[in-house]
A and B are shown apart, each in its own frame.
Chain A
Amino acid sequence: MHLTLLSIDWLLLIEKCVLILIIISVSLVIAMYETWAERKVAAFMQDRRGPNRAGFGGLLQPMADGLKLFMKEEIIPTSSSKFLFVLGPGMAMLTAMMTSAVIPWSSHFHLFGRDVSMQIADVNIGILYIFGVVSMGVYGIMIGGWASNNKFSLLAAIRGASQIISYELAMGLAIIALLMITGTLSLGKMVEQQQEHGLYNFVVQPLGFLIFLVCAFAECNRTPFDLSEAENELNFGYHQEYSSMKLGFYLFAEYINMFISSALMASLYFGGFDIPFVNDAAFGAHFGQNPLAILQVVSLFGKIVLFIFFFMWVRWTIPRFRYDQLMNLGWKVLIPLALFNMLATGFIVLLKAHGWHF
């Protein structure tokens, strides 16, 4: 008993707990400010000013919104299935949060004589884990829509579920091509490889990246693919019956998903925490590990912010797809393209392995 307790690396446990705490709070803060940024970006693109009353430049607006959501009456429809109704938003939030576990936020810090890794769990099947968790995101939508006992919510939930499932296929196929090149499922290793080669996967896999990007939009239910909350057709979609902070959870989960998928795209295709145009190893040797790690975090967050801006930019430019168009794009365009990309990549990888000749 005592021996097993001693054999656990308690410091590692504490370190990971602190890291989890930090990452979850950072995700929440970022999600909060994404709501602000979304309104600002929308406003600027439509020649408006956006929120500017609460605090300087409207920076306190998310707090005001949160306060408003907390003050609202919490309604659970009598005809709903109560347990599932409460479970839905929790599920959406949980899956949104869980994905961040395998993303490498930076190389490592050197603190208190220990190397503190900035990845919560460097599992060797990182990408499979992400796919597993992301597909659980369907449950948040599906349970919410089902438990509301409302036609529109159910329709929206079914739409959302089928959309996410359809686009997951193309996403997976796009990733397979990437895996063929990197030869690893661990996100940490992928980032390291890109760092060593100084060549981002985006250059090697432009088509794969494009497919992944489109699918990421669909997975996050962001605008060209926000059919599950199409206001003009389905009132408000799967979260129509929700109010107060339960609604807040759904909306928040969407923004956290956006943050995480931006982090994922940055890690997979844009070198993750690698500082662009700088040799990280040489920089670390010259200035020390900790400044390097901090700069790497900054670099990753810079990439994430760019991606988030891109998400918003697309949202305020492109109108929503019709449902059949959505399915056509998913099944008849993206999946064949992803298959083609996979085959072509496989062919080239094979050629390379044989020294460019058979």
Chain B
Amino acid sequence: MQPLTSRSKAVERKPMTMWEKMYLPAIAKGMSITFGHMFKKKPTVNYPEKTRPFSPVFRGLHVLNRDEQGRERCTACGLCAVACPAEAITMEAAERLPGEENQYREEKYAAKYEINMLRCIFCGLCEEACPKDAIYLSETFAPANYTRKGFIYGKEELLIPNPVTQPEEYAKAKGL
């Protein structure tokens, strides 16, 4: 048969020499290689104790941001849901009532905000689409869960702790 590429090479079928037939030199060579590997640096990272550092542009789990006074920034405009190529984001808008000014920054807010982490492809387009700087992608990823339902993250999971009332948790979430 005509060789299809220029890279094909005929297999050598010449009989083994006496030296090769003894096998022992080859075995010794192989054993020196395996012995050398014993002292090589191991690429394994001891995962739960040590984690590999993420790059600064890593796109992980979403966080719903608050402003300096602890008010939710999201106005439920729906631009993130429109931008989302995986259609992972759903939300329901509600109108801010008098007396809720310290909770929501603008007159409209997201009463329900859900991201399906199984659908999400972590592209970060929601982050880019958001005009209010309300959603951004953090440097963690979604932990394992027992049910599919558990992967649908609501506001409780996504919202960052309030910097005014819970400064410690806020600092922790920010990774400070």
Chain A residues within 8 Å of B, Cβ to Cβ = 41, 44-49, 52, 313-314, 316-318
**Given A47-B43, A48-B44, A49-B46, do A317 and B31 touch, yes or no (CB 8 Å)?**
yes
> Which of A44, A49, A52, A318 is close to B38, meaning CB atoms less than 8 Å apart?
A44
Q: Are A49 and B30 interface neighbours, CB within 8 A? A: no
CB distance from B52 to the nearest CB of A (A): 15
Q: Are A46 and B37 interface neighbours, CB within 8 A? A: yes
0/1 interface trace, chain B 11-54, chain A, CB 8 Å (1 if under): 00000000000000001001101110110101110100000000
CB distance from B35 to the nearest CB of A (A): 7
CB distance from A37 to the nearest CB of B (A): 13
Having A48-B44, A313-B34, A318-B31, one finds 5 other A-B pairs with CB under 8 Å, namely: A47-B42, A47-B43, A316-B34, A317-B34, A318-B27
Q: In the complex, which residue of chain B has the Cβ closest to the Cβ of A41? A: B38
Chain B residues within 8 Å of A, Cβ to Cβ = 27, 30-31, 33-35, 37-38, 40, 42-44, 46
A340 to B43, CA, bound (A): 49
A317 to B30, CA, bound (A): 6
Residues of B within 8 A of A49 (CB): 42, 44, 46
Q: Are A317 and B42 interface neighbours, CB within 8 A? A: no
Q: Are B30 and A318 interface neighbours, CB within 8 A? A: yes
Residues of A within 8 A of B44 (CB): 48-49
CB distance from B95 to the nearest CB of A (A): 54
Residues of B within 8 A of A45 (CB): 34-35, 37-38
Residues of B within 8 A of A317 (CB): 27, 30-31, 33-34
In terms of DSSP, what is the predominant structure of the interface of chain B?
Answer: helix
Residues of A within 8 A of B30 (CB): 317-318
Residues of A within 8 A of B31 (CB): 313-314, 317-318
Q: In the complex, which residue of chain A has the Cβ closest to the Cβ of B36? A: A45
**Given A318-B27, A318-B30, do A313 and B43 touch, yes or no (CB 8 Å)?**
no
Q: Which of B27, B31, B33 has the most CB of A within 10 A?
A: B31
Residues of B within 8 A of A47 (CB): 37, 40, 42-43
Q: In the complex, which residue of chain B has the Cβ closest to the Cβ of A49? A: B44
Q: Are B37 and A44 interface neighbours, CB within 8 A? A: yes
Q: In the complex, which residue of chain A has the Cβ closest to the Cβ of B24? A: A210
Q: In the complex, which residue of chain B has the Cβ closest to the Cβ of A315? A: B34
Residues of A within 8 A of B38 (CB): 41, 44-45
Q: Are A313 and B35 interface neighbours, CB within 8 A? A: yes
Q: Which of B27, B34, B37, B46 has the most CB of A within 10 A?
A: B34
A48 to B33, CA, bound (A): 15
A52 to B43, CA, bound (A): 15
Residues of B within 8 A of A314 (CB): 31
A47 to B41, CA, bound (A): 7
Residues of A within 8 A of B37 (CB): 44-47
Q: In the complex, which residue of chain B has the Cβ closest to the Cβ of A224? A: B27
CB distance from B150 to the nearest CB of A (A): 26
A44 to B34, CA, bound (A): 9
CB distance from B174 to the nearest CB of A (A): 32
Q: Which of B33, B35, B37, B46 has the most CB of A within 10 A?
A: B37
Residues of B within 8 A of A313 (CB): 31, 34-35
Q: Which of A44, A52, A316 has the most CB of B within 10 A?
A: A44
A46 to B34, CA, bound (A): 8
By Cβ-Cβ distance, the 3 closest A-B pairs, closest first, are A44-B38, A317-B34, A45-B34
Residues of B within 8 A of A48 (CB): 42, 44
Q: List 12 A-B contacts (CB under 8 A).
A: A41-B38, A44-B37, A45-B35, A45-B37, A46-B37, A47-B43, A313-B34, A313-B35, A316-B34, A317-B27, A317-B33, A318-B30
A59 to B63, CA, bound (A): 42
Residues of A within 8 A of B33 (CB): 317
